[in-house]
Amino acid sequence: MKTMVSARTLGFLAIAAGLAASAACFEDASTRRGELPTDEPTIPANTDGGVTRKGGGPTAGDGGGDVDEDRTIIEVLEANPDLSELTKAIKAQKLDGLLDGPGTFTLFAPSNKAMRELNDLVAKGDVDAKEVASILSYHLLVSKNASSDLIKGSKIYDTAMSVERSPVKVAVSIVGSNVVLNNGRSHQAQVTKADIAATNGVIHVIDHVIHFGDEPTTIEATLGELAAATTIPGPVKASLTKVSCPTKCTVFAPKSGTLSDDNAKYHVVQAAAPLYAAGVVGAAGGYVKTLDSEAGVGISVNSDGSVMLNKGKPNAARVTTTDILATNGVIHLIDRPLSRTEKTKNILETMSDVGLKQLGKAVSMQGSDSEFNDRDQSITVFAPNDAAIESIAELTARKKPELKTVLLYHTAPSVYSSQKLASVTELDSFIANKKIRATRSANPAFTFLNPSGTTPSVNDAYIDDKSDIVATNGIIHVITKVLTPP
């Protein structure tokens, strides 16, 4: 990562009215957004920081308010004391004429505090004063993008700055409920106030100045930058950069440990398009294919919204940072390496891996293996832990028809991730006309099955922290009690 902006041969785009009206070029990263289990990202709207119209009331944001019919972007800046430092810098660099002219722009406007930080860097010699104009130009897009446009998905946009006639790019990532510029890089910034409208575009306030030395590059170069910043270990970077990436690839980069060259392939997703954060969450309850042809990575979402890879396995990993965008894909940081030895397994094999030995024995003894391992149908298994199975020792001690009924009642003929369970009240079981009822407890970490009331009783079972364990033919949720068919 660069902490100092290096001198470069710079040029500005010739921004005529026709070009300004054209759409910005970007890499489309919106992926399965409708499957997100959480609310759409929101950005603080412009409610009190806008200018006042000459006719009266405050200027509302472009996300749903009226455009200020009288003021251009530079005039809006001049009237906003919270952006006075930016206004001074724009005028000092003689960029005010551009922002006062016709066009459809998006300005990511650093706050006064952010601009003072830039001034300090210039004063210390860490940033060349001659590059301030280029830095400011890097905050400007030549297309209008309201917050409603930005939150559609992570994208790479062209800015109004160019190097040898090639536009310099900025990465706009959706990180949880936030919009972040150049996420994961040295000078990332977050939108803190959105949709301050003007006649020639829209302004979004950000909390830091972004630097063109941090613009998105290739996966390989970005891994090098992350290693240089000690975000990931050097050996991890060395192994991952040896992987031949598809045109658009997704890399899960461990922040610790080491990777063999063979295991590195298991950290790169094989897909036609990059799997951005929305797509990762959308894949919860299933596997994604990797460049290791023998193994896929299971995706799970915890009740707190965090994403786990190969949950329940010995080397499960948590996704810590999403959507570090690159020109040929995306990088997500994980807290530890995944294990290539954890091959893709079916429900029964996975039960054994996660310590459900008693349930596995009961299923095999009863001859229900086929129902649990039917590869033509994806299922959900609510799997009683070993302590719960011991509570029905009388049934499991010998082969009884009632045991098969009980076991099949713990199985639903579809995949229900914990996020999906939160939206249903009942689901079919493998026993005809015997529904499994579900509800959320007062503690959002738990889903109760067959609750007898709002207060948990001895007949209730809840899904513990071992939820969303993915197998080739479905998903497992470990529960604390045995369910009794109604």
Helix axes 357-366 and 401-408, enclosed angle (nearest 10): 120
Residue holding tokens 């950005």?
43
CATH class given for the domain over 219-334? mainly beta
In CATH terms, are 219-334 and 347-479 the same topology?
yes
Contacts of 97 (CB under 8 A, 6+ apart): none
Q: Is 144 exposed, middle or buried (0-12, 13-18, 19+ CB in 10 A)?
A: buried
Contacts of 456 (CB under 8 A, 6+ apart): 441, 448, 462
Dist CA 240 CA 242 (whole Å) = 5
Contacts of 245 (CB under 8 A, 6+ apart): 219, 220, 251, 268, 328, 329
Q: Residue 111: which of 207, 194, 45 has the closest Cα?
A: 207
CATH number for the 11-214 domain, one of 2.30.180.10, 2.40.50.1070, 3.40.50.10860, 3.50.50.60? 2.30.180.10
CATH number of 347-479: 2.30.180.10
Dist CA 241 CA 261 (whole Å) = 9
Domain ranges of the chain: 11-214, 219-334, 347-479
Dist CA 229 CA 251 (whole Å) = 18
CA 441 to chain centre: 26
CA angle 298, 299, 305 (to 5 degrees): 155
Per-residue pLDDT of the chain (486 residues; tens, 9 = 90+): 333 333 333 333 333 323 233 222 222 323 222 222 334 444 555 443 333 223 332 233 334 344 555 899 999 999 999 999 999 999 999 999 999 999 899 999 999 999 999 999 999 999 999 999 999 999 999 899 999 999 988 999 999 998 777 889 999 999 888 999 999 888 999 999 999 999 999 999 999 999 988 889 999 999 999 999 899 999 999 999 988 876 788 999 999 998 888 889 999 997 788 889 888 888 877 888 888 876 788 888 876 778 999 887 778 899 999 999 999 999 999 999 998 765 667 888 888 777 788 888 888 776 666 667 665 678 899 998 888 888 877 666 665 677 888 888 888 988 888 778 878 888 898 888 888 888 877 666 677 888 765 444 445 787 866 778 888 888 888 888 888 888
Dist CA 237 CA 254 (whole Å) = 9
What count of residues does the chain have? 486
- pLDDT value at residue 371: 66
Whole-structure pTM value: 0.73
Q: Tell me the CB-side half-sphere exposure of residue 313, using CA atoms within 13 A.
A: 27
Q: Are 366 and 403 in contact (CB under 8 A)?
A: yes
Q: How many CB atoms lie within 10 A of CB 53?
A: 14
- At residue 238, the 3 state secondary structure works out as helix
